[in-house]
Amino acid sequence: MPVTITKNEPIPAIAKRERVAAYARVSCGKDAMLHSLSAQVNYYSQYIQQNPAWEYAGVYVDEALTGTKDSRPEFQRMLTDCKAGKIDRILTKSLSRFARNTVTVLESVRMLKSLGIDVYFEEGNIHSLGADSELILTLLASFAQEENLSVSENQKWRIRKGFEQGEVMCWRFMLGYRIEHGKVEIDPDGAEIVRDIFHRAIAGETYGSICRRLNAQGKTGALGKPFRSAHIRDNLTNEKYTGNALLQKTFVRDHLSKRQVANKGELPQYYATETHPAIIDEATFEAAQEIVCQHAERRRDCAQPQRSEFTTKIRCPFCGQAYKRVTSNGTVGWNCSTYQDKGKRYCHGKKIPEAVLKALVADVLELPCYEAHEMEAQIDHIEVPADNHLTFFLKNDHIEERIWKDRSRRESWTPEMKEKARQNAMKRKR
């Protein structure tokens, strides 16, 4: 019987679409610039989705943030998604949109290159996975950084010449004043709030009490946000309310970080008198300074709380603020600082029991029990994407997800809490 041979043709592999994202940024908050940003977003959204070989992975947008800062939230989120394997290629307009800091450019590109992710810079037609890309990017990033330095130095010179001539700046964020036709004028509603703050503080009312009273009345600060205790102190120590101004109280140390630092003698200061209308008299201001000093002395006398290894490690998914350690009814946990300071109206971040947090850390690190030094050594930060859900970002670039379960109220009670509840129940029966 003859042998029958059948040829099996290989099944062609289905081409996998490349996941493509884009990054856009503008460096100031002017309407024209924000319009430009919107145009960039629309352009990249359509450009990516029109290519049948690509899968749309999103457009990451940072508004009014400088390219020299590593704290750009959308840029950092994009890098996190890259590490999680959600992106294969990144499109961006130019190297200056991506970053002006040479170190940031090279570190980011090298990290993405190690993941096999290409960054395409439209201006210059540069692919980061190209053979000569690193040399070209190094040169272009250096030029962009030097250009940023030149612009920064020119701005500093202009600002400092203005200080020498008694020019007062930054009125936009000051309660009680407004700019009309280029002239500083008193805002009656804001000025009334300022006077109220000074008079209540001098009368002995605490920062917290003043803050709660103003918020209960629906009053807001210069930015339209609720008052916090720090805002009350800032208002009380601002000499501009007397019609005078101390100039160059802070300065930018370097053009890369853009961080404002207190001027402690590094640069000259200028005291300009009668530069604008006064809201309070100098006698009231001096009386308030005595109150501020008394508050500061009381704070110094109080014992400073011990810093936890979790401090600054946990971020709220709803408002972006750091979690802080809280104690309630004898139990220790971590909750959003916005929720703690302002209430659930402003943020509904859920409290995480510290015991649960430590148990999950031990599980992630595969430890028999929780060890603080191992947590600090191995975990970079913790995010809370949803209630009862934690994402651990390890320093070795690994990401671990954990879900924890709420204990019942009865299980969470300490023996002291149970005894107190029993006594209260007996009193009600009498």
Whether the model pTM is above 0.75: no
Give residue 13's region: left, alpha or beta (phi > 0; psi -120 to 50).
Answer: beta
Residue from 291, 214, 275, 270 nearest 241 by CA:
275
β 331-336/352-353 pair status:
antiparallel
Distance CA 430, CA 19 (A): 70
Please give the structure tokens belonging to residue 135. 């040399």
Write down the pLDDT at residue 387: 77
How many CB atoms are closer than 10 A to CB 25? 24
Helix (H) or strand (E) holding 177: strand 177-180
Residue from 230, 393, 367, 371 nearest 314 by CA:
393
CA dist 306 → 35, 148, 287, 310, 325 (Å):
47, 41, 34, 11, 10
Is residue 148 within 8 Å of residue 100, measured between CB atoms?
Answer: yes
Cβ-Cβ contacts under 8 Å for 38 (sequence gap 6 or more) = none
Distance CA 23, CA 98 (A): 7
Residue from 345, 170, 296 nearest 240 by CA:
170
Amino acid at site 38: S
Is residue 288 within 8 Å of residue 201, measured between CB atoms?
Answer: yes
Is residue 400 within 8 Å of residue 392, measured between CB atoms?
Answer: yes
Please give the structure tokens belonging to residue 124. 């210059």
Distance CA 94, CA 126 (A): 9
Please give the structure tokens belonging to residue 225. 């946000």
For every one of its 430 residues, what pLDDT tens digit does the chain have, with 9 covering 90 and above?
567 777 666 655 556 789 999 998 876 544 445 556 778 888 889 999 999 999 999 999 887 554 444 567 888 899 999 999 999 999 988 777 777 666 677 778 888 888 989 889 888 788 888 766 666 666 666 656 565 555 555 555 555 555 455 455 555 578 888 877 777 788 889 899 999 999 999 988 888 889 888 998 998 888 888 888 888 888 898 888 888 877 766 656 654 555 666 766 676 777 777 778 888 898 998 898 888 888 777 766 554 455 688 888 888 877 778 888 887 766 788 888 887 777 777 777 778 888 889 989 999 988 888 888 888 888 988 888 777 888 899 988 888 888 887 654 454 455 666 666 667 666 655 5
Is residue 390 within 8 Å of residue 384, measured between CB atoms?
Answer: yes
Please give the structure tokens belonging to residue 239. 């000499």
Please give the structure tokens belonging to residue 63. 């508004």
Cβ-Cβ contacts under 8 Å for 13 (sequence gap 6 or more) = none
Cβ-Cβ contacts under 8 Å for 11 (sequence gap 6 or more) = none
> What three-state secondary structure class fits 253?
coil
Please give the structure tokens belonging to residue 40. 């960039």
Domains of the chain: 18-147 (3.40.50.1390), 166-301 (3.90.1750.20), 314-415 (no CATH)
Please give the structure tokens belonging to residue 254. 């370097």
Give residue 58's region: left, alpha or beta (phi > 0; psi -120 to 50).
Answer: left
What's the CA dihedral at 73, 115, 48, 23 to 10 degrees?
Answer: 20
Please give the structure tokens belonging to residue 139. 């040169």
Write down the pLDDT at residue 247: 75
Please give the structure tokens belonging to residue 375. 């947590």
DSSP 124: T
Amino acid at site 295: H
β 260-262/389-394 pair status:
unpaired
Amino acid at site 199: H
